[in-house]
Chains A and B, each alone.
Chain A
Amino acid sequence: MGRYVIRRLLQMVPVFIGSTFLIFFMVYALGDPVAAMFGDRAPDPATAAQIRADLYLDQPLWKQYLHYMGQIFQGNFGTAFNGQPVTELMAAAFPVTLRLTLVAILIEMIAGILLGVFSGLRRGRAVDTSVLVFTLVVVSVPTFVSGYVLQFLLGVKWGWVKPAVSIDAPLGELLLPGVVLALVSLAYVTRLTRTSIAENARADYVRTAIAKGLPRHRVITRHLLRNSLIPVVTFIGTDIGALMGGAIVTERIFNIHGVGFQLYQGILRQNSPTVVGFVTILVLVFLFANLIVDLLYAVLDPRIRYA
């Protein structure tokens, strides 16, 4: 196990470098950060050259990348458009998005698994069909549409919740945004659970459990669920990274000042340190979430042994 973890960590290095370099390349090579600094005014050529030299922008791209990464590992993520260090933005933004993601994961886990088990056990019946239709509709409506519609209905028209989230983003106000963020994943979790349950319900070992004279609830919880939830758990694990990166739309709709909001600002203002810095952290979160999922897999399924 220990050797496997080390091997996986080593394998993560090229992926980390590849992903961050790709983003770095897009941001630095395609845009012009210096021009962006000055907005519409054309900068004085000498000043521009000086800034380029200060920011290592006159070096070849790979050198810039190395320099940037070197700085990052010393904890220097550069300066945001408003002069604040990027690390300060991160300290403010990540807890908010983390909370939002947590709410979303909880919602998708509880609702998704319940719906999936419910419909998987009643395959082909009315309950199953309506759950399937629900998941199809949810997957089909893009987040920004469902977000606005729910915000309008629940927040504005019926006034059940506050339509926008305040700066410190308390958990209670994140409930509706959490639902919006979770919706699509929730549908996937439901369908995954349903398929998994329906497939395993026909497995030989479930038949054995019934033949042993176990009560129905024990057959379902101890034998059927235990096996069926393995792929679901791994999906939810990998989804953590995806949700944090995908929160950009939800955060924009509900005006939440989290990672997505800062990134969006960074992109709009072409502030490279903000964009690359935040994305680097997100990539790391994604990679570690995947590693944990793989390790979790071995715990859940004893047939898998990592050497």
Chain B
Amino acid sequence: MPDHVPDEAITHGDGGAAALAIGAAESLERTPGTGPGGAPTGRARSLWRDAWHDLRRNPVFVVSALIILFLVVIAIRPQLIADGNPYRADLAKAQAGPEPGHPFGFDTQGRDVYTRVVYGARASITVGVCATAGVALLGSLLGGLAGFFGGWWDTLLSRLADIFFGIPVILGGLVFLSVVTSSTVWPVIGFIVLLGWPQIARIARGAVFTAKQNDYVQAARALGAGNGRMLLRHIAPNAVAPVIVVATIALGTYISLEATLSYLGAGLKPPTVSWGIDISAASTSIRNAPHMLLWPAGALSVTVLAFIMLGDAVRDALDPKLR
């Protein structure tokens, strides 16, 4: 965003440009002077307490948190609910429907769809969590510094963010990942972090910039608080909330992105068990054996939905303006 555009333009522009999780950004950033604004650290703390109080009683939050907890457990130990081997193929059973012990049927190579769906959680969760952690760290660090120090550093970062925004995500992924031969999750995670950080950086920049304008921060500065203390004690607590909300929703979209890239043949590669790969393989047989596509697709959708719902619930709890 050009630095001379008035604040309103920046707020809305961010909402518009955030390609992956725009829903989260739409109302979190407060234009200086219009929002309830001046929340000192004490109020930031009670904001979290209030938010937690609300969340515990919000069924959306409880349900999505339980789903995510379940998914994380399955990702760590799939054996808990699936004792089969996701690679064992029985060609005689190729594309066969459900039978006792195999509730979801078999895929084209005669592998048990249920076992593969359960084992597929690991790749999705790993990519989602690691990519989000990377994006959130890098983004809030760069964006926070830009918002705090402003000046040429801010300008440079804004231009850099523009460059990454200019590249269509899926295309960039295809180009970048088509030359990678590794079958691990790391190239995918690296790519998402590379293209995802500007989104969080913009949110963090806006939040820090707004927090910096608050009267109590100005007061702390007048009292001689150093930069480090200002950032940690006064500004970071207020900037963390919007970053967490956007990151949670982004986590869902990253999982979706990974599946899309894997579907296009550029994300994860066999032997990694991935919902995206299985959906892609099943897509050619959708007429004969729709169960091969529907089960992994359902698992993928529920996972993405759980994270987006969680982010939504957290956003509602942290943004009292919207009640």
Contacts and interface: CB of A to CB of B under 8 A. Distances in A.
Instruction: Give yes or no for direct A-B contact (beta carbon below 8 Å).
Output: yes
Interface of A: 7-8, 11, 14-16, 18-19, 22-23, 26-27, 30-31, 136-137, 139-145, 148-149, 152, 156, 188, 191-192, 195-196, 198-199, 230-231, 234-235, 237-238, 241-242, 244-246, 248-249, 252-253, 263-264, 267-268, 270, 275, 279, 282-283, 286-287, 290, 293-294, 297, 301, 303-304, 306-307
A11 B160 CA distance: 12
B301 A141 contact: yes
Contacts of B321: 199
A11 B17 contact: no
* Interface SS majority for chain A: helix
Interface in B231-283: 252-253, 256, 259-260, 263-264, 266, 279-280, 283
B279 A304 contact: no
A301 B7 CA distance: 13
Nearest to B159: A14
B286 A8 contact: no
Interface residues of B, number: 61
Nearest to B22: A188
Given A237-B16, A245-B171, A303-B6, A19 B163 contact: yes
Given A136-B305, A192-B23, A235-B22, 9 more contacts: A19-B164, A22-B163, A27-B175, A139-B253, A140-B256, A156-B287, A191-B26, A192-B26, A279-B171
A19 B166 contact: yes
B13 A145 contact: no
Nearest to A19: B166
B172 A231 contact: no
B9 A23 contact: no
Interface in B1-20: 2, 4-6, 8-9, 12-13, 15-17, 19
Contacts of B322: 195, 198-199
A245 B174 CA distance: 12
Given A199-B27, A303-B8, A140 B305 contact: yes
A64 B53 CA distance: 59
- Choose among B9, B174, B175 the residue with the greatest number of A CB atoms under 10 Å from its CB: B175
A131 to B, nearest CB: 13
Top 4 A-B residue pairs of the complex, sorted by shortest distance between their CB atoms: A245-B168, A18-B163, A140-B305, A19-B166
B26 A195 contact: yes
Interface of B: 2, 4-6, 8-9, 12-13, 15-17, 19, 22-23, 26-27, 159-160, 162-172, 174-176, 178-179, 252-253, 256, 259-260, 263-264, 266, 279-280, 283, 286-287, 290, 293-294, 297, 300-302, 304-305, 308-309, 312, 321-322
Contacts of A137: 301, 305
Contact of A283 (B166, B279, B286, B302): B166
Contacts of B22: 188, 192, 235
A241 B171 CA distance: 12
A249 B260 contact: yes
Contacts of A290: 17
Contacts of B308: 136, 139-140
- Choose among B4, B16, B170, B290 the residue with the greatest number of A CB atoms under 10 Å from its CB: B16
B164 to A, nearest CB: 8
B264 A152 contact: no
B16 A231 contact: yes
Contacts of A199: 27, 321-322
Nearest to B249: A139
25 contacts: A7-B2, A14-B159, A16-B166, A19-B163, A23-B172, A140-B304, A142-B259, A142-B263, A156-B286, A196-B26, A199-B322, A234-B12, A234-B16, A244-B168, A245-B168, A245-B169, A246-B169, A246-B170, A248-B264, A264-B264, A279-B171, A282-B168, A293-B13, A294-B13, A306-B5
Given A144-B279, A149-B297, A231 B12 contact: yes
